[in-house]
Structure 1
Amino acid sequence: MDMRDTVVYAIGDVHGCHKELLALEAKIELDAQRFSGRKIIIMLGDYIDRGPHSRRVIEHVMAPPPKGFQRVCLVGNHEVALLLYLDGYLSREPWLGYGARETLFSYGVDPDRLASLYGSNEQTDARIREAIPASHVDFLRTLPAMVCSEEFVFVHAGIRPGIALEAQDENDLLNIREEFFQAAHRLDRWVVHGHTIVDVPTLDGRRLDIDTGAFQTGRLTALRIVGKYGRLLSSQD
């Protein structure tokens, strides 16, 4: 991505927090009024699970972005877990342990009640899979795992040190932690990511984690980047 003459707003893990996303977007729109040029919102993944309104969040990010903005949605490990379940590669109980029960509630489905109504796992899973609109599934399948420019990388979890960006493994982009954290001072680009909850986003070497645990704290965080300068915005400010 060419970031010249561009204002970027990266938004951390939403996890079903629709109200907080709307509040943060309103602040982004207000903040962006002082800038000319292209304006892009980059969502860092994990739109679903844990929080109460996963369906609304998906519908929101599928809809057109705020006027005057472009929006890029990256995939997170929670979206991949949903797709793995829908495709039969992840069984229901491990998936529900990810926080997916709240996602199903948002689609009007109680998985425990379904399991009690249907004797077989196959019937229960079939009813659950029918509840997720095909348009939502198709949207999730299109999401990229990383966006990068000459100086910045935007990704859900991080990157594996010593591996060229084009050779990164998707599992690392969605799940990596310690190996990435330990290499923060050796990175050759600034990496903006989520995935690991922090109380306050703090620059560590050349990485910045902006996942402030919105589903627990009510604080959804964005990072505004203009040139080489950044500023944090919060849904609670």
Structure 2
Amino acid sequence: MLTPQDSDAVSPPERDGVDALDPQTVTVVSISDIHGYLGDARSALLTLADHPDYDAVVEKDAARRLHWAGGEEYVLVINGDLIDRGPQSERVVEMAERLIEEAPPGHVRVTAGNHEMGVLVPELYDWSRWYSGTRSDEERRAFLQAVLDGHVVAAYEGHNVTYSHAGQPDPFTAREVNEELVEGTQRLLGALGDSDEIETQERVVESLPRVFGYDGETGRGPNAGLTWLDFEYMPEDAPPQVVGHTRQDTPVRRGNVVCGNVIRNNRRKEGGEAVIVETPDSIAALGRDEDGDVVEYVFSLPTMDEPRA
């Protein structure tokens, strides 16, 4: 479960945001909620290669496996929920591992979604029928280490927006929430396989709700953390963000927040898969139409009353 073998650990500040790279030359690409649907993810990520105004971020080989093609000019944010629901969770994880290993350090970022939480704190979810709920202790140990190595984060700061799986209505910095994820992960790793593991998972969720918390019967209530919050509860004046989690037919924007979770709502028809593309001066979505052609949706830049912390 996401255990890159040949990639160095990513530490702050590269772990946390594009400003640690060469921000004026980097384009950020985001895809969310792949959920084991490898073909749809492949199609979405190849939209840049199929659009005349963009260079490729990935390329496919003869076996249709994706490989990094973005050099140092791109950062790819896989914005949570790689796994579960679809039939190819293992192959999606392998794709993410391969891209992490092939890209320059810090250029492929995986944010934890609520289904990755099913690997971190599995005793609190009844997901034994899904990929996340059937990981062995050794697989979980390796995934926890991937968090500590900075390959899996809670959030990542782009040029004008912050990327996380579900977002938050109030301001936060990627470094703050990433440190909270690391703190909780260290505690979970220390208790792995011990008699008090369930209690440790409960205490982590209770003490670090901004990252690990869920709310209400569905988990998606207004007090949920940034892996669970439903887009319904994102206010118009929320800080600038790109999120997934809540299903949409096309990428949408509410106030300062863009939601790009479109794969599952388009599973039963041609086209619809999309990525979000951010430069210092623009934010847009590239998606497929019913003929497989690439369509660009351009959003105005979010309004920021104050610089981000």
Q: Which has the higher helix share?
A: 1
Cα separation, partners in 2 of 1:215 and 1:195, compared to 1, 3 Å: same
1:33: which partner in 2?
Answer: 55
- For the residue of structure 1 that corresponds to 2:153, the secondary structure is coil
Tell whether 2:136 aligns with 1:129. yes
Cα separation, partners in 2 of 1:150 and 1:40, compared to 1, 3 Å: closer
Moved more, 133-142 or 17-26: 133-142
Partners of 2:168 and 2:79 lie apart in 1 by: 13
- For the residue of structure 2 that corresponds to 1:232, the secondary structure is strand
**Which of the pair has the greater relative contact order for Cα pairs under 8 Å at 6+ separation?**
1
Cα separation, partners in 2 of 1:198 and 1:66, compared to 1, 3 Å: farther
- For the residue of structure 1 that corresponds to 2:47, the secondary structure is helix
Tell whether 2:137 aligns with 1:103. no
Alpha-carbon deviation of 1:201?
A: 1.5
Cα separation, partners in 2 of 1:102 and 1:176, compared to 1, 3 Å: closer
TM-score by length of 2: 0.56
- For the residue of structure 1 that corresponds to 2:169, the secondary structure is coil
- For the residue of structure 1 that corresponds to 2:227, the secondary structure is helix
Q: What letter is aligned with 2:154?
A: A
Q: 1:202 aligns with which of 252, 256, 273?
A: 252
Identity %: 20
Give yes or no for contact 1:58–1:136 (8 Å, CA) kept in 2: no
Alpha-carbon deviation of 1:209?
A: 0.5
Tell whether 2:32 aligns with 1:9. no
Q: What letter is aligned with 1:151?
A: N
Gaps of at least 5 residues in structure 2 are 1-16, 57-69, 178-209, 214-224, 294-309
Q: 1:229 aligns with which of 258, 282, 292?
A: 282
Give yes or no for contact 2:166–2:231 (8 Å, CA) kept in 1: no
Q: What letter is aligned with 1:47?
A: L
Q: 1:173 aligns with which of 207, 222, 226?
A: 226
Alpha-carbon deviation of 1:213?
A: 3.8
Gaps of at least 5 residues in structure 1 are 105-110, 112-124
Alpha-carbon deviation of 1:60?
A: 0.8
| RMSD (Å) for aligned C-alpha atoms | 3.3
2:238: which partner in 1?
Answer: 187
User: Could you report, residue by residue, the CA deviation over 1:181-205 in whole angstroms, capped at 9, with x for unpaired residues?
Assistant: 2x22x134x2100000011222211
Partners of 1:178 and 1:220 lie apart in 2 by: 19
Alpha-carbon deviation of 1:71?
A: 1.2
Give yes or no for contact 2:159–2:280 (8 Å, CA) kept in 1: no
Alpha-carbon deviation of 1:140?
A: 5.8
Give yes or no for contact 1:157–1:193 (8 Å, CA) kept in 2: yes
2:12: which partner in 1?
Answer: none
Cα separation, partners in 2 of 1:41 and 1:178, compared to 1, 3 Å: closer
Q: 1:90 aligns with which of 117, 124, 131?
A: 124
1:72: which partner in 2?
Answer: 109
Cα separation, partners in 2 of 1:178 and 1:53, compared to 1, 3 Å: closer
